[in-house]
Amino acid sequence: MSKPESKIGVTVIGATGYSGAELVRILLQHPRVKLEKVISRTFAGKPISQIHPRLRTNLICQGLNIEEITSSIVFAALPHATSMGIVGKLHGKNRKIVDLSADFRLQDTTIYEKWYGLVHQQPNLLRKAVYGLPELNRDKIKKSCLVANPGCYPTAAILALAPALQKNLIEKEAIIVDAKSGVTGAGRKLTLTTHFPEVNENMNAYQVEGHRHLPEMEEELSKLSGGKVQITFVPHLIPLNRGILSTCYARLRNSLNVKEIQDLYTQFYQQDPFVEVLPVGSFPQIKEVIFSNRCRLGLTINNTTGWLIVISVIDNLGKGASGQAVQNMNLMCGFPEELGLC
């Protein structure tokens, strides 16, 4: 009889927020993980199953004590600014860290400070952090001890545009991303704009002048394309719990037909288990990816304007947050990339 495979110890900091609770849900079912600690300052001392009854575990939420975290892998599911100091302390203790905040996604501290309104306290770690989009950075993630998990909107947009930009099929200066997200993308904290009567039977654009995820999209896509990418990005809130649909528009540089571009996208993602390029004439829907780590892409060309249109859908708590974080953990630990995910 074969020897059972060993499990690695894992801690989740910020375990009671939407992303943290989704992480706990996925990790409890992961065959190579032992979830050792769930940390929540707000609910310390309470069973996490009392906060989120769908989580079948006896784990008790603990307060944060860096010295007591001995797990091999630590997930930090915390707001920006809160995360950077904690990650800085953990990094010095030889832990592998997946950070779900925005604190380590941007390489340029001046850009971070412009969009987030505060001075970055760990600029030395920015050079060590790897942007955790496996479809673009798989080999770097495997070698990294600090992975910056991408934002939900950037994940959907980057996956939609990466093949076209990498192959220089579209103009870099006139890209439009029109994105719509479910309410969990705003986090668990109560606000008027996410109050049920405000969201139900409604849809609204927000942060139209500039959303914090915009520089993340532009930075990663500029690296990929070898030139400065400029995007007009407008997010919208829709009355769903979870899911993102992004419609991306870009002017084609060359005369290609839809089938040629669809073949190019299929080839680009042929080694990526969670990205599915749909047949010509098919377009994805949010309900197809809920509670999964999948991204589905559909594309076409507007023959009147000569613009490429790519539609992507993800679950903002799955491929847009916690599912992708576990995918990154799998790569960092040498596990099969799809392990524990669907």
Query: Is residue 216 a contact partner of residue 116, using CB atoms and an 8 Å limit?
Result: no
Count of CA atoms in the C-beta half-sphere (13 A) of 45: 1
Query: Is residue 291 a contact partner of residue 264, using CB atoms and an 8 Å limit?
Result: no
d(CA 220, CA 204): 27
**For the chain, give me the number of helices (H) and strands (E)?**
11, 14
d(CA 241, CA 120): 32
Buried b (16+ CB within 10 A) or exposed e, 15-51: bbbbbbbbbbbbbeebebbebbbbbbeebeeebbeeb
**Active-site entry in 61, 145, 152, 342:** 152
Secondary structure class of 147 (helix, strand, coil): strand
Residues 6+ apart with CB under 8 A from 263: none
Q: Which two tokens stand for residue 117?
A: 């309104």
d(CA 85, CA 257): 50
What is the residue whose two structure tokens read 């991306």? Answer: 248
Helices 323-333 & 18-28 angle (0-180, nearest 10): 50
Active site residue 152: yes
Query: Is residue 87 a contact partner of residue 146, using CB atoms and an 8 Å limit?
Result: yes
What is the residue whose two structure tokens read 């960092």? Answer: 332
What letter represents residue 198's amino acid? Answer: E
Residues annotated as part of the active site: 152
